[in-house]
């Protein structure tokens, strides 16, 4: 915790210390040698940066599970059904669509940018709500009645790393806090033995930009996302060093905390109380993180629902882990899955490669919504699904068929946490190029997610380099129409 | 009383009492000055109205009082600014309406009674930081212990007297020595150094240590790292691809500059424009790497011009933050909302940095040079052989020539690689620069040429300095270049640079600057806690020809610096954040120094200075987190135990033990590190194999050094904390040792003790 940055906290902690002092902190110290519980009680108040806090408003959602489809999935192959585009396949897109627009790879592979490409995928309306989903997402098609589709998402930047940053931090510049960091900064976390913001990854490679996507930027590092790894140690340095057992670790931590407590008494510095609390939390995490990651206790039926294996890393397994993490109070869980970058090159075509990545995620993501609902957790858990941008209605020919990056309109979906069930927001033009109404910019999406958590995006600020920064920069409107 | 002093004088210490007036001075007055006073001030009084003082606003003009205290709704000023008046047009007349934040600040101020200081002078008002510092008189101070009073203490004590607070006592000598070593070199004192100091009876023993440490080569490492933060130094290109880069020559140049005590104005000039100095040396060209520490985007499909522009924007913003302490970046998309910096002026600064090439400079080491020369000789040899065969026309000669040509090609391809570093170089033809509308590089506005903000000192003096002796003194109409900008930055008339930099030096010693917003000296920044001291330090530094070592000496020999950091009950009520410095502050060590302290304690440290980045052990799987998996071949032998600042820094996948302790991310300039305190830090110190390895070494070291358990404990304690344990501390460690010894044997028991000591809050704190 950055106490020096929070005068209020400093004064509370100091007051606390001095009131303790007058009661005789020395006796507490002695008692704590025998009773770690009392030590914790004596040092924890005001010392947890991640202690749960109330937002500005009454929130509908408590936790968020964000399924980040890294690379930018093609909305035209999955959700945005465009028969007219298929009819115009191979024709030239009217200039009026392209005027003033910029695209990636303008100088090289995106030369025949003006040729329209119809989707070869079959679409059907599903559920009571009759929402269109393509054949590539048979499982997802079954949960449409619990989901809001936003077909008119828009972003500002068309290259992967900056666009991922933009989707996560509201800025394409490095060094800004990510949404999970803002949220845990704003309302803390209810998990007292796990990090408040956890990241899980699957797919052939890490997301572009790496750790900055879940970084805390200029916020204290307490708020940055902690990657839990699918295999081996779930958290860096979580395992007690070789040759030491839990008992010896406990013994060492007790000695560290007792000596730190003596120093706290000698110096009166509340930062030492925070450090004692941090060591206790670290110790608890050593047990609780592996426990959270261990699927031994999950029934075969549950594993089957997700299509997950107890030990083999996969997106589906991460979905199940995400449920376990929010059950344990983790505020923000973000899953990354690669690779959705369907340009048409090797490993990236809209044919078999695309089918594979769809298959990777379909069953797990549908199961997550189904499972959360069955356990009564969907109301308080907001599930967000989407990439950093979408794909162009125009085709791109590399080795096979593909589409280029597209920022004008793409589909994301949300479920639970106070959003409407079985609802479609926004409509794109007949080619799926741009929105004809209800455009939802990244800043609007951020404002809405914060709103659902009970946080006013204009009031969640942090002063840095002379300016009050927000997740939503100077923009963002809550999309009230999708709220249940 | 000058205007700025007057504004400081009004800054009450209790924030609540000064709340209303502080609003006027910090929020209302700057915006009235910026938007209104041009037409309604000392020079012009359109509509008979003046708004340069709150009194004049209350009196009003031809249309009556401009404001009614406590009643914003009926106040003419607010109606006109919001454009709700039935007859009169919206103000500012025919210009962009005021932003909502400004309107709200005005409304709040009027609603609260429109309070303002009674003795507010009329006329042009300038924010304090834009007025050059004037040498203040040193407050009177009693001599203590026959020592000449340090002016720093005079200023600090004078302010404390107003609150009836005395300075704290001096810290005990062991604490003091550890503090001094860590602050000046980033390394803790050895037990021998501690003993020597504790036994040194001379009254000037402390000052002698100060001088020795300021001349230690490790001083350059410690303070060099301070500058690397500002420069956003890293060993990779950043963005998503994050390829490695060779930049350590520049890093070593910085370390050397501190160790040479290069006057700070030269230090700045060489980094901004060393290449443009007459007869620039190799070192001066290397110095321009400062602004090559920007990221490079190598992602496929990007528009290269976009990222060239991004890097220039970063250079402008970094220059603003690093030297001027102003938030220039706010004027990239629109005129600055709070400070008098227009968007046009932003792009005039941009123009200085738009005229460069970004070459890679080859700087071969002596060995590389020899290898290169051998290679060149071999090439020449083959070429000569070829030439000799040139005239012969028979088939054999043709065959031989073919063979030779092939060899030559092969040889040329095997040219030995040499060390390189990134530098700036001026283009022969300047680029055209424009205002970018809303900061968007695809939307060109009016042309701009290089220039500096009008609110600051003129560029002319720097231009003349550049032309001195060239016979062109009178032609100051030439296009200014980066060298002129560099000279302008350190021009003695610059009201900001010396204040901003010395404030950040101060921040290193006390955890907080005299101006708390160390990167914002503008109207939105905080006011100095000790304005006279700040100005005295700034002017003193200039008077000492920008001698930084002298300023360090001045600060660390002050009583203020030497106080104990222990909490004091009466301070908790009067000054809970310790702004007035009636005691020192405990500061958690920087990420690199946490590593260094552990290395020194264990005896493992390799104190070698400079050279390419190294790869100490890190947990498995760290490099998987980047988009491109980068190598991490763990260094063996000596390089495994180098100081933290030499750890190879990948921007996308930074060394976890550094990142977890708030090492800057190197994406943009960092002028103040966060000091977080998290469970992940605990896991790092407890379990990271690099720290475990050091703990094992520390245990071995103390076991080898003595046989007696008590002596061993004392030694281990002194190696980590540079002091004796208290009886209670010793008792706790003894019981730990006993338990561990009983269950796991002696060697293991000492390893546990070593781990515990290396994990203590005090070990990673400067007290």
B687·A238 Cβ contact <8 A: yes
Residue A24: pLDDT over 50: no
A222·B624 Cβ contact <8 A: no
Mutate: best of B676, B720, B733, partner A, most A CBs <10 A? B676
Q: What is the least distance, in Å, from the CA of B327 to any CA of chain A?
A: 6
Residues 386-405 of A with CB under 8 A from B: 405
What pLDDT score does B471 carry?
59
Most confident of A123-127, A193-197, A230-234, B29-33: A123-127
Residue B759: pLDDT over 90: yes
Q: List, in order, residues 6 or more apart from A298 with CB less than 8 Å away.
A: A310, A320
Residue B615: pLDDT over 80: yes
What pLDDT score does B9 carry?
31
> Is the ipTM reported for this complex over the cut 0.95?
no
What pLDDT score does A164 carry?
93
B566·A238 Cβ contact <8 A: no
What pLDDT score does B190 carry?
97
* CB-closest option in A102, A258, A266 to B732: A258
Q: What is the least distance, in Å, from the CA of A79 to any CA of chain B?
A: 26
Chain A residues whose beta carbon lies within 8 Å of the beta carbon of residue B752: 248, 251-252, 255
Chain B residues whose beta carbon lies within 8 Å of the beta carbon of residue A5: 674
Q: Which of A224-228, B120-124, B713-717 has the lowest mean pLDDT?
A: B120-124
Local confidence band at A172 (pLDDT 50, 70, 90 cut-offs): confident
* CB-closest option in A161, A208, A272 to B761: A272
Partner B contacted by A287 (CB < 8 A): no
Give the chain B residue whose CA is nearest to the CA of A209: B240
What pLDDT score does B259 carry?
98
Local confidence band at A18 (pLDDT 50, 70, 90 cut-offs): very low
CA distances from B339 to A61, B109, B238 (A): 40, 19, 32
What pLDDT score does A158 carry?
86
Query: Average pLDDT of B127-151?
Result: 82
Contact between A5 and B517 under an 8 Å Cβ cutoff? The reply is no
Local confidence band at A48 (pLDDT 50, 70, 90 cut-offs): low
What pLDDT score does B3 carry?
37
Q: Which of A297-301, B211-215, B223-227, B457-461 has the lowest mean pLDDT?
A: B457-461
Q: Which of A28-32, B83-87, B234-238 has the lowest mean pLDDT?
A: A28-32
A:B CB pairs within 8 Å: 234
Chain B residues whose beta carbon lies within 8 Å of the beta carbon of residue A105: 300-301
Chain A residues whose beta carbon lies within 8 Å of the beta carbon of residue B684: 236-237
What pLDDT score does A137 carry?
98
pLDDT tens digits along A367-384: 999 999 999 999 999 999
Q: What is the largest CA-CA distance in chain A?
A: 83
What pLDDT score does B675 carry?
85
Local confidence band at A29 (pLDDT 50, 70, 90 cut-offs): very low
* CB-closest option in B624, B676, B736 to A255: B736
Q: How many CB atoms lie under 10 A from the CB of residue B373?
A: 12
What pLDDT score does B148 carry?
67
A241·B692 Cβ contact <8 A: yes
* CB-closest option in B327, B620, B665 to A175: B665
Partner B contacted by A172 (CB < 8 A): no
A278·B519 Cβ contact <8 A: no
Local confidence band at A271 (pLDDT 50, 70, 90 cut-offs): confident
Chain A residues whose beta carbon lies within 8 Å of the beta carbon of residue B511: 4
Chain A residues whose beta carbon lies within 8 Å of the beta carbon of residue B677: 1, 3, 222, 271, 274-275, 278
pLDDT higher at B160 or A226 = B160
Local confidence band at B599 (pLDDT 50, 70, 90 cut-offs): very high
Residue A37: pLDDT over 50: no
What pLDDT score does B19 carry?
34
Q: What is the least distance, in Å, from the CA of B622 to any CA of chain A?
A: 8
Write the DSSP symbol of residue B131.
S
What pLDDT score does B525 carry?
82
* CB-closest option in B626, B677, B740 to A206: B626
What pLDDT score does B142 carry?
66
Of the candidates B588, B644, B597, which has an alpha carbon nearest to the alpha carbon of residue B618?
A: B644
* CA–CA dist A438, A453 (Å, integer): 22
pLDDT higher at A297 or A104 = A297
Residue A22: pLDDT over 60: no
Contact between A361 and A69 under an 8 Å Cβ cutoff? The reply is yes
pLDDT tens digits along B98-133: 877 788 888 888 988 888 887 777 777 778 999 999
Query: Average pLDDT of B633-655?
Result: 94
What pLDDT score does B474 carry?
53
Beta strands at B444-448 and B433-436: parallel, antiparallel or unpaired: antiparallel
What pLDDT score does B453 carry?
95
B511·A4 Cβ contact <8 A: yes
Chain A residues whose beta carbon lies within 8 Å of the beta carbon of residue B662: 221
Mutate: best of A466, A468, A469, A475, partner B, most B CBs <10 A? A466
Give the chain A residue whose CA is nearest to the CA of B696: A241
Residue B348: pLDDT over 80: yes
Mean pLDDT (chain B, rounded): 90
Q: What is the least distance, in Å, from the CA of A109 to any CA of chain B?
A: 9
* CB-closest option in B302, B627, B688 to A237: B688
Residue A40: pLDDT over 60: no
Local confidence band at A42 (pLDDT 50, 70, 90 cut-offs): very low
Q: What is the least distance, in Å, from the CA of A220 to any CA of chain B?
A: 6
B619·A7 Cβ contact <8 A: no
Chain A residues whose beta carbon lies within 8 Å of the beta carbon of residue B683: 235-238, 282, 285-286
Percent of chain A with pLDDT over 90: 62
What pLDDT score does A466 carry?
63
pLDDT tens digits along B733-747: 999 999 999 999 999
Residue B147: pLDDT over 70: no
Residue B232: pLDDT over 50: yes
pLDDT higher at B574 or B515 = B515
Of the candidates A389, A386, A370, which has an alpha carbon nearest to the alpha carbon of residue A319?
A: A370
Mutate: best of A193, A259, A343, partner B, most B CBs <10 A? A259
pLDDT tens digits along A384-431: 999 999 999 998 877 788 999 999 999 999 999 999 999 999 999 999
Mutate: best of B240, B574, B747, partner A, most A CBs <10 A? B240
């Amino acid at each position: 915790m950055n106490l020096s940055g929070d005068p209020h906290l400093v004064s509370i902690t100091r007051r606390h210390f001095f009131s303790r002092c007058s009661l005789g902190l020395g006796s507490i110290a002695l008692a704590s040698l025998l009773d770690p519980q009392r030590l914790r009680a004596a040092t924890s108040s005001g010392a947890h940066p991640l202690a749960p806090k109330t937002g500005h408003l009454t929130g509908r959602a408590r936790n968020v599970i964000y399924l980040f489809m890294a690379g930018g999935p093609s909305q035209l192959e999955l959700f945005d059904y465009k028969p007219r585009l298929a009819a115009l396949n191979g024709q030239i897109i009217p200039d009026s669509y392209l005027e003033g627009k910029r695209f990636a790879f303008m100088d090289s592979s995106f030369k025949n940018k003006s040729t329209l490409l119809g989707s070869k995928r079959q679409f059907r309306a599903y559920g009571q709500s009759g929402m269109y989903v393509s054949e590539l997402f048979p499982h997802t098609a079954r949960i449409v009645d619990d989901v809001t589709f936003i077909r008119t998402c828009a972003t500002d930047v068309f290259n992967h790393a900056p666009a991922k940053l933009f989707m996560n931090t509201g800025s394409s510049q490095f060094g800004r806090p990510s949404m999970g960091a803002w949220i845990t900064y704003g309302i803390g976390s209810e998990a007292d033995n796990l990090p408040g913001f956890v990241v899980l990854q699957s797919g052939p490679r890490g997301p572009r930009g790496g750790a900055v996507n879940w970084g805390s930027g200029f916020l204290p590092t307490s708020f940055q996302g902690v990657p839990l790894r699918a295999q081996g140690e779930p958290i860096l340095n979580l395992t007690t060093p070789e040759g030491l057992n839990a008992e010896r670790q406990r013994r060492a931590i007790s000695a560290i905390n007792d000596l730190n407590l003596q120093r706290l008494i000698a110096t009166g510095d509340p930062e030492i109380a925070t450090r004692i609390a941090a060591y206790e939390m670290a110790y608890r995490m050593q047990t609780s993180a592996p426990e959270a990651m261990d699927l031994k206790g999950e029934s075969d039926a549950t594993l089957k629902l997700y299509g997950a294996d107890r030990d083999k890393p996969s997106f589906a397994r991460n979905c199940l882990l995400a449920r376990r993490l929010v059950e344990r109070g983790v505020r923000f869980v973000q899953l990354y899955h690669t690779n959705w970058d369907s340009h048409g090159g090797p490993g990236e075509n809209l044919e078999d490669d695309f089918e594979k990545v769809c298959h990777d995620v379909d069953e797990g993501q549908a199961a997550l919504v189904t499972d959360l609902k069955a356990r009564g957790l969907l109301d308080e858990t907001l599930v967000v699904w989407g990439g950093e941008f979408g794909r162009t209605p125009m085709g791109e020919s590399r080795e096979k068929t593909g589409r280029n990056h597209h920022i004008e309109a793409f589909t994301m979906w949300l479920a639970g946490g106070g959003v409407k069930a079985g609802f479609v927001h926004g409509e794109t033009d007949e080619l799926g190029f741009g929105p004809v109404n209800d455009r939802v910019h990244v800043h609007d999406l951020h404002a809405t997610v914060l709103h659902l958590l009970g946080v006013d995006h204009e009031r969640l600020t942090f002063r840095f380099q002379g300016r009050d920064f927000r997740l939503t920069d100077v923009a963002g409107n809550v999309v009230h129409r999708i709220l249940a | 009383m000058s205007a700025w002093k007057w504004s400081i004088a009004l800054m009450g210490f209790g924030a609540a009492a000064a709340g209303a007036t502080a609003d006027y001075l910090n929020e209302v007055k700057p915006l009235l000055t910026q938007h209104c006073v041009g037409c309604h001030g000392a020079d012009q009084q359109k509509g008979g109205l003046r708004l340069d003082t709150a009194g004049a606003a209350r009196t009003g003009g031809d249309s009556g009082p401009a404001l009614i205290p406590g009643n914003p709704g009926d106040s003419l000023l607010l109606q006109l600014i919001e454009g709700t008046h039935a007859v009169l047009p919206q103000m500012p007349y025919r210009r962009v309406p005021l932003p909502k934040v400004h309107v709200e600040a005005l409304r709040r101020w009027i609603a609260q009674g429109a309070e303002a200081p009674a003795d507010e002078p009329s006329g042009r008002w300038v924010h304090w930081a834009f007025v050059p510092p004037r040498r203040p008189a040193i407050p009177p101070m009693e001599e203590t212990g026959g020592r000449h009073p340090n002016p720093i203490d005079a200023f600090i004590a004078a302010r404390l007297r107003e609150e009836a607070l005395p300075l704290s006592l001096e810290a005990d000598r062991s604490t003091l020595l550890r503090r001094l070593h860590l602050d000046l070199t980033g390394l803790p004192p050895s037990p021998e150094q501690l003993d020597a100091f504790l036994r040194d009876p001379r009254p000037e023993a402390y000052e002698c240590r100060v001088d020795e440490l300021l001349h230690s080569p490790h001083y350059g490492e410690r303070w060099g790292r301070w500058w690397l933060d500002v420069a956003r130094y890293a060993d990779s290109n950043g963005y998503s691809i994050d390829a490695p880069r060779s930049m350590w020559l520049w890093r070593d140049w910085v370390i050397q500059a501190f160790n040479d005590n290069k006057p700070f104005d030269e230090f700045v000039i060489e980094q901004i424009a060393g290449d443009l100095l007459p007869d620039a040396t190799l070192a001066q060209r290397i110095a321009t790497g400062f602004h090559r520490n920007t990221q490079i985007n190598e992602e496929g499909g990007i528009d290269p011009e976009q990222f060239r522009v991004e890097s220039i924007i970063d250079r402008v913003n970094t220059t603003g933050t690093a030297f001027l302490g102003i938030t220039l970046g706010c004027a990239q998309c629109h005129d600055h909302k709070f400070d008098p910096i227009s968007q046009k002026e932003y792009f005039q600064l941009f123009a200085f940095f738009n005229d460069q090439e970004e070459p890679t400079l080859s700087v071969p080491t002596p060995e590389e040079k020899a290898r290169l020369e051998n290679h060149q000789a071999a090439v020449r040899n083959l070429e000569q052989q070829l030439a000799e065969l040139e005239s012969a026309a028979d088939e054999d000669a043709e065959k031989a020539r073919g063979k030779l040509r092939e060899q030559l090609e092969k040889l040329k391809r095997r040219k030995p690689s040499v060390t390189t570093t990134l530098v700036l170089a001026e283009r022969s033809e300047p680029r055209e620069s424009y205002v970018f509308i809303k900061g968007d590089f695809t939307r060109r506005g009016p042309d701009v040429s290089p220039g500096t903000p009008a609110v600051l000192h003129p560029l002319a003096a720097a231009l003349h300095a550049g032309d001195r002796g060239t016979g062109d003194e009178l032609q100051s109409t030439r296009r200014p270049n980066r060298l002129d900008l560099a000279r302008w930055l350190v021009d003695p008339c610059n009201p900001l640079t010396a204040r901003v930099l010395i404030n950040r030096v101060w921040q290193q010693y006390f955890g907080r600057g005299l101006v708390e917003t160390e990167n914002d000296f503008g109207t939105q920044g905080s006011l100095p806690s000790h304005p006279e001291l700040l100005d005295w330090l700034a002017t003193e530094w200039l008077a000492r020809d920008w001698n930084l070592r002298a300023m360090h000496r001045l600060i660390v020999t002050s009583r203020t610096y030497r106080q104990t950091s222990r909490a004091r009950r009466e301070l908790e009520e009067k000054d809970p954040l310790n702004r007035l410095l009636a005691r020192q502050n405990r500061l958690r060590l920087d990420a690199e120094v946490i590593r260094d302290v552990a290395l020194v304690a264990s005896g493992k440290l390799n104190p070698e200075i400079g050279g390419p980045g190294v790869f100490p052990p890190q947990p498995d799987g760290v490099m998987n987190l980047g988009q491109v998996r980068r190598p991490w071949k763990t260094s063996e032998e000596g390089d495994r135990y180098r100081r933290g600042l030499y750890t190879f820094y990948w921007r996308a996948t930074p060394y976890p033990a550094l990142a977890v302790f708030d090492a800057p991310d190197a994406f943009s300039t960092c002028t103040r590190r966060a000091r977080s305190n998290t469970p992940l830090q605990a896991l790092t110190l407890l379990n990271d194999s690099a720290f475990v390895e050091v703990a094992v070494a520390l245990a071995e070291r103390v076991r080898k050094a003595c046989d007696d358990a008590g002596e061993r404990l004392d030694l281990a304690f002194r190696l980590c904390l540079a002091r004796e344990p208290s009886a209670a501390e010793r008792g706790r460690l003894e019981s730990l040792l006993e338990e561990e010894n009983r269950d796991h044997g002696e060697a293991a028991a000492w390893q546990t003790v070593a781990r515990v000591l290396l994990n203590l809050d005090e070990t990673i704190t400067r007290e």
